[in-house]
């Protein structure tokens, strides 16, 4: 049973539409179900949403289209949201054959199905990129955060090579509760943003850049050495990780007391 179904069950009891005994039976049946479903090639963690507030996310790289499609079918059939990262078009074709309402996001290489009806959380998540080439990673972060129930704003192509582009958007920076900053090349933008705002900044280095950028290592080291307060760093090209972390920061109610 996912968290939304549990809330709906409790609301039915509160409204007198469901007897306590019937609710107890339903809940007991759900809890008796195995916490994961074992396939020949995967163990699907159906209780991830109970523990962490969002269902298991499928990492598409290294899996065949058929494997991704079968995992997707099982997740959706258990009435949970679906998020597949690093998915290619052939994987989406296989998933759509099993889950016709699934959506493909080509730039972010994400497959999604379902989402929270009303965004929640303390405020707005702003996703910022240094350049247009960083957009695929940024979209992975933005769509991930949206799937997890957040309002997301996008501010793209405002890197340090033309700093006036960023400074002319100060109001949007100051309106955010959490900011994800995606940059390749030298990776300086998160430090600049971190020096302008009082909220957490999640820095995402990308593999965009010429040879001496070392496929994102140069940006990663710059971000790790940031002198700005409140800047944290995820791995190279890890838009999903940034979006998930931003959502967690924006939902203090989902963290243990």
pLDDT at 121: 81
Residue 133 to residue 131: CA distance in whole angstroms? 5
Q: How sure is the predictor about 4, in pLDDT bands with cuts at 50, 70 and 90?
A: low
Q: How confident is the model at residue 151 (pLDDT cuts 50, 70, 90)?
A: very high
Q: What is the pLDDT of residue 82?
A: 92
Confidence of residue 257 (pLDDT cuts 50, 70, 90): very low
The rounded distance, in Å, linking the Cα atoms of 19 and 139 is 45
Q: What confidence category does residue 15 fall into, taking pLDDT thresholds of 50, 70 and 90?
A: confident
pLDDT digits (tens, 9 = 90+) for 32-74: 556 766 677 777 777 677 677 777 889 999 999 999 999 999 8
Global confidence as pTM: 0.83
Average confidence score pLDDT of the chain: 89
Per-residue pLDDT reduced to its tens digit, 101-122? 999 999 999 999 987 666 678 8
Domain boundaries, the chain: 1-33, 35-113, 124-254
- Report the pLDDT value the prediction gives residue 252, as an integer from 0 to 100: 81
> Considering the domain 124-254 in this protein, what is its CATH number?
3.40.50.1970
Compute the average pLDDT of residues 198-215. Answer: 95
């Amino acid at each position: 049973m996912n968290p939304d179904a549990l809330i709906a069950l409790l609301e039915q009891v509160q409204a007198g539409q469901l007897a306590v005994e019937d609710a107890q039976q339903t809940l007991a049946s759900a809890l008796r179900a195995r916490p994961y479903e074992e396939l020949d090639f995967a163990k699907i963690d159906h209780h991830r949403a109970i523990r962490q507030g969002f269902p298991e996310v499928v990492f598409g790289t290294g899996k065949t289209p058929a494997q991704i499609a079968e995992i997707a079918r099982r997740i959706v059939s258990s009435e949970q949201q679906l998020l597949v990262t690093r998915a290619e078009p052939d994987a989406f074709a296989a998933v759509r054959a099993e889950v016709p309402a699934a959506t493909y996001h080509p730039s972010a290489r994400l497959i999604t199905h379902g989402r929270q009806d009303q965004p929640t959380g303390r405020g707005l998540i702003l996703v910022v990129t240094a350049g247009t080439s960083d957009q695929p990673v940024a979209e992975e972060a933005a769509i991930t955060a949206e799937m997890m129930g957040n309002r997301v704003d996008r501010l793209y192509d405002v890197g340090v090579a033309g700093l006036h582009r960023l400074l002319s958007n100060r109001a949007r920076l100051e309106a955010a509760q959490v900011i994800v900053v995606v940059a390749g090349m030298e990776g300086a933008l998160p430090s600049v943003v971190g020096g302008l705002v009082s909220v957490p900044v999640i820095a995402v280095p990308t593999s965009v850049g010429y040879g001496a950028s070392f496929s994102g290592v140069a940006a990663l080291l710059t971000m790790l050495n940031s002198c700005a307060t409140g800047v944290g760093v995820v791995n190279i090209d890890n838009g999903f990780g940034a979006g998930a972390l931003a959502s967690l920061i924006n939902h203090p109610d989902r963290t243990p007391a």
